Amino acid sequence: MFFRVSGHGVDETTLIAVLGKSHPEKRKAFRKGNPQFFKEDERSFERWDDHRIKLLKREFSRFKNAVVLWAMHPWERDARLMKEALKDGPDSYNVLIEVACTRSSEELLGARRAYHSLFEHSIEEDVASHVHGPERRLLVALVSAYRYEGTKPKEDNAKAEAKTILNVIKSGEKKTDNEEVIRILTTRSKLLLKAVYKDYQEISGSNLDEDLKSDSRLQETVQCLCTPERYFSQVLDLALEIDADKSTKKALTRVIVTRADVDVKEIDEEFNKMYGVRLTKKIEDTANGNYKDFLLRLIAKGD
């Protein structure tokens, strides 16, 4: 009757089979057989390990959180994700970049409106007051953006912008503080920025995001704007690691729920290219119970 919690979520069916119909002696044997969950004091009193209770609560909540997020209006969902990212601190600021850079201009505007209604503050105000250091300017500009979404970027502009960024990188100055780099990444259309990404590669012989690896916020910004399927594949791969930390694991729910109606099929294909396994297979092997079934159902929407 050994019970193991690993991966993401809980295998509710197995747990019910083990505990649902068992009599007191069976449950006693269950406790004895699971010393990682139960411990005895000097009087042989059996009790749950408090840390393991927190772990179980977190794993049980994954399905609930996924359903709640999925049922929300996308604007409210993004607003709440940004609020939570600010609350969690610097390790979660990539969520601000995800929302700002992978949504359309109208979707981001809607999230900003929802944030104002929910929290009686603007997202720009809260980012400016919570974020400190050189990344503040970048993040405020990203969440404030309203990008042109036309279909005809000027190729000459793309080449010029690519050269500008390359010159800044070659100069060795801190790029997060550079006004020109921030201007390009926070005001140009995504179509133009993809052309900048391509031209940069042709001019320099390397990928822009790779050359920005020393500035993680700029790197995440470029990836979300220019290669979102690759970015989300990397985030999901980290989230699906068994020993990933709590914050990293949360990305599995966030990414699948927010991309199910957008590009989850493309993400699945890119994940397979990068890691040699389908995203669906990785989730089947790693997640458990209702949580696993719900994620797979959302991915299937993209087929």
> Is pLDDT above 90 for 4?
no
- 76 within some domain: no
**The pLDDT value given to residue 121:** 95
d(CA 300, CA 290): 15
Judge if 40 and 16 occupy the same domain: yes
**The pLDDT value given to residue 56:** 81
pLDDT tens readout for residues 148-182: 998 877 777 999 999 999 999 998 877 788 999 99
**The pLDDT value given to residue 1:** 42
Judge if 218 and 172 occupy the same domain: yes
**The pLDDT value given to residue 232:** 98
φ/ψ (deg, to 5) at 46: -85, 135
**The pLDDT value given to residue 22:** 64
- 75 within some domain: no
- 32 within some domain: yes
Judge if 194 and 243 occupy the same domain: no
Judge if 198 and 250 occupy the same domain: no
- Six-digit token pair at 63? 């399905």
> Could you say which of 64, 91, 106 is where a domain stops?
64
Instruction: Return the higher-pLDDT residue of 175 and 253.
Output: 253
Kindly state the average pLDDT of the residues 12-22.
72
* The model's pTM: 0.90
> Is pLDDT above 70 for 5?
no
**Neighbouring C-beta atoms of residue 67, cutoff 10 Å:** 15
Mean pLDDT of the chain: 91
Kindly state the average pLDDT of the residues 108-136.
97
Judge if 221 and 239 occupy the same domain: no
- 49 within some domain: yes
Kindly state the average pLDDT of the residues 48-60.
81
Instruction: Return the higher-pLDDT residue of 156 and 109.
Output: 109
Burial of 2 (0-12, 13-18, 19+ CB in 10 A): exposed
Judge if 217 and 250 occupy the same domain: no
> Is pLDDT above 90 for 76?
yes
> Is pLDDT above 50 for 251?
yes
pLDDT tens readout for residues 263-290: 999 999 999 999 999 999 999 999 999 9
Judge if 240 and 212 occupy the same domain: no
- 192 within some domain: yes
Task: Name the residue range of residue 270's domain.
Answer: 230-300
pLDDT tens readout for residues 199-234: 999 999 999 999 999 999 999 999 999 999 999 999
Least trusted range by pLDDT, from 25-29, 230-234, 238-242, 260-264: 25-29
Give residue for tokens 């300017």: 137
Judge if 211 and 191 occupy the same domain: yes
- 164 within some domain: yes
Domain count, the chain: 3
**The pLDDT value given to residue 6:** 62
User: pLDDT over 90 for what percent of the chain?
Assistant: 71
